[in-house]
Structure 1
Amino acid sequence: MYIIAGLGNPTREYEKTRHNVGFEAVDILADKLGARVTEKKHRAFCGTGRIGPEKVILSKPQTFMNLSGESIRAMADFYKVEPDHIIIICDDINLAEGQLRIRTKGSAGGHNGLKNIINHLGTQEFSRIRVGVGEKPKEMDLADYVLGRFPREQEGVMDQAYQDAAEAAIMMVTEGAEAAMNFFNRKK
């Protein structure tokens, strides 16, 4: 079993913001799997599906970004899923818009949602699919940038990124993280 969680902030106020790319990707993945991510439990909206023979729990934590680890830990404990079977999809300001970067472990890299997950799981050994949202302008506050929406001209690039992130998650489950890294980390 796998947990695939997209990070974001709840409420309509944050829909379609840079920080909510994880929610967008999980919605696309749910569509591909014929799943519904509507059941409220573990401080998240959850749904179940199958990728090949593997059962997957799809999740959109409702704890707000900086407390995502509370929800992820509750799910991991309830379903008895080890960190190496957890895949987190989140935004990354260090990558160009739409670019993906897949890793099986590593630091939070300044991302408060990942930092909280690391703290709650007690390890950095979980997979993450980072979705590029572009570098923030120097004169702009980081919070304002990640809580802002994409300009219209970037929407197509981001729609493709959500598709790619969903496909990357599927590949990670079916073929392994290394195959997904080899394919998606090189894709521009």
Structure 2
Amino acid sequence: MKLIVGLGNPGRCYALTRHNLGFMVLDALAREEQIAIKHKQFTALCGQGLINQKKILLVKPQTYMNRSGEAVWELLNYYQEQIEDLIIVHDDLDLAWGNLRFKRSGGSGGHNGLKSITRMLNSDQYSRLKIGLGRPPAGWTSEAYVLAAFTSGEKKDLELIIQGAVQGLKVWCEKGLEEAMQKFNSFGLA
């Protein structure tokens, strides 16, 4: 089974913030594939289904970003899945707005969700789908920027970005990371 984990913060006040792009992508994938993400399992909301005949588990940790690793560790152990069957969908400040990057392994880039996952798994050898936010404007801290709502200009791009991520995840499920990298790492708005 493949585990697709979207990172975000639970709660209505965070729902439309930049830091919740991982949740937004999972919600879009779930709608498209008719998978309900509402089963509470350990510290996450989960939904099981099939994508192109491949069994998947969609996961939205409910622990807040800096403890996301708890849910990932619990579910990997419970289902006895390998780290190769895991992908984390998250926002990234070092990528330009709207760019997508599939990647295996690496550092956290300062992302607290990735730090938590790496610490709990004792490994950084998991796949990621990074969704570019770009750097914060002058005078903004990184924290304030990721916890802020999207601008009206960003909202216009959001559906295209999320759909690109959804299509990329389907390729990852069916054909693997290398194929997803080849097809989607050039995805961007420019």
TM interval, short-chain normalised: over 0.9
Match of 2:107 in 1: 107
> Which structure 2 residue ranges, 5 or more long, are not aligned?
none
Native 8 Å contact 1:50 1:56 kept in 2: yes
Whole-Å Cα distance in 2 between the matches of residues 84 and 104 of structure 1?
A: 9
Match of 1:126 in 2: 126
Match of 1:145 in 2: 145
Whole-Å Cα distance in 2 between the matches of residues 18 and 183 of structure 1?
A: 24
Q: Taking structure 1 as the reference length, what is the TM-score of the superposition? A: 0.97
Match of 2:4 in 1: 4
> Which structure 1 residue ranges, 5 or more long, are not aligned?
none
Match of 1:83 in 2: 83
Native 8 Å contact 1:97 1:158 kept in 2: no
Whole-Å Cα distance in 2 between the matches of residues 153 and 108 of structure 1?
A: 28
Match of 2:29 in 1: 29
Worse-superposed segment, 20-29 or 34-43: 34-43
CA-CA distance at 1:57 after TM superposition = 0.4
Please state whether the residue corresponding to 1:178 is helix, strand or coil: helix
Whole-Å Cα distance in 2 between the matches of residues 185 and 25 of structure 1?
A: 16
Whole-Å Cα distance in 2 between the matches of residues 160 and 42 of structure 1?
A: 32
CA-CA distance at 1:134 after TM superposition = 1.9
Please state whether the residue corresponding to 2:47 is helix, strand or coil: strand
Match of 2:59 in 1: 59
Please state whether the residue corresponding to 1:124 is helix, strand or coil: coil
Instruction: Check if 1:187 corresponds to 2:190.
Output: no
CA-CA distance at 1:150 after TM superposition = 0.8
TM-align CA RMSD: 0.9
Whole-Å Cα distance in 1 between the matches of residues 78 and 156 of structure 2?
A: 37
CA-CA distance at 1:85 after TM superposition = 0.5
Native 8 Å contact 1:6 1:89 kept in 2: yes
Match of 1:170 in 2: 170
Deviating beyond 4 angstroms after TM superposition, the runs of 4 or more aligned structure 1 residues are: none
Native 8 Å contact 1:17 1:149 kept in 2: yes
Whole-Å Cα distance in 1 between the matches of residues 110 and 18 of structure 2?
A: 15
CA-CA distance at 1:15 after TM superposition = 0.8
CA-CA distance at 1:53 after TM superposition = 2.7
Whole-Å Cα distance in 1 between the matches of residues 84 and 54 of structure 2?
A: 14
Q: How many residues align?
A: 188
Cα shift readout 1:99-122 (whole Å, capped 9, x = no counterpart): 101101111111110011001011
